[in-house]
Amino acid sequence: MAAPARAAAPAPVARTHASFVGAVPLELASVPPTAGTTANLDLAGLDPAVLDLALGALACARQAGTAGDRADHVLSVIDFRLPSTAPRLWVIDLDSGAALFTERVSHGRNTGEDAAVSFSNIPGSNQSSLGLFRTGEIYVGKHGRSMKLDGLEVGFNDRARDRAIVVHAASYCTAGHVAQWGRLGRSQGCPALDPAVSDAVIDTIRDGTLLFAYYPDPDWLSGSAALRCDAGRDPA
């Protein structure tokens, strides 16, 4: 398969712990690095502390037995602190440390306008959910070729399949839509992608890889089991 085209990466987010929490009085400085996990990964635009949390969540899923067969090879990370106009989804080849894709991705219509600010696990909320997901099977639905997601965090995203939160293509996720409206369009909570890349992304992350969606939401940071299974890890 031809190498996927990569969108330009956003300017790096300031690498200070304050930038993760904004006005939320929580310190990510208390989260020790996962030994050796980030040493060989150099991913433009992805804050290394968010990557480290994602890799820690991957380790938790392995420990819990919820990681799929391909989880050690491909990991996807969404940083919802970034606006919808910026590439904020990274698909990472864990074997080589390379970014296979860096793409724009939508959030739910009740999660925010250009900026994502509110998240939910509730059916009918039309909001995105946070935390660790496992990718599932491909099907063809109203958005064409799509991929199901299973949320692995009870209370935060475990109703994803019931809510039909899936990866799919959407015309409102194109550069042309951004040029016309100043932001991506919004979904019912799905991480939708530009149709030009959606099939390639889906084929890369399908069938049991993990997707980690980050935002400094205080309830999630303090309650996520995926951030806490390693001894000594406590982001609160």
- 29 versus 57: the higher-pLDDT residue is 57
Q: Where are the alpha helices (DSSP H) in the chain?
A: 18-21, 48-64, 175-181, 195-205, 218-223
Reply yes or no on whether the pLDDT at 42 is more than 70. Answer: no
Assign a CATH topology to domain 43-114+129-227.
L,D-transpeptidase catalytic domain-like (2.40.440)
pLDDT at 7: 38
User: Are 208 and 71 in contact, with CB atoms under 8 Å apart?
Assistant: yes
pLDDT at 41: 63
Reply yes or no on whether the pLDDT at 14 is more than 50. Answer: no
What does the domain layout of the chain look like in residue ranges?
A: 43-114+129-227
Reply yes or no on whether the pLDDT at 216 is more than 70. Answer: yes
Of the candidates 84, 114, 94, the one whose C-alpha atom is nearest the C-alpha of residue 34 is 94
User: Are 166 and 148 in contact, with CB atoms under 8 Å apart?
Assistant: yes
Of the candidates 73, 76, 29, the one whose C-alpha atom is nearest the C-alpha of residue 49 is 29
**DSSP letter assigned to residue 187:** B
Reply yes or no on whether the pLDDT at 127 is more than 80. Answer: yes
CB atoms within 10 A of CB 152: 24
Beta bridge partners of 101: 91
% of the chain residues with pLDDT over 90: 75
Reply yes or no on whether the pLDDT at 193 is more than 90. Answer: yes
Q: What is the mean pLDDT of the chain?
A: 84
CB atoms within 10 A of CB 203: 14
Tokens, residue 8: 């330009």
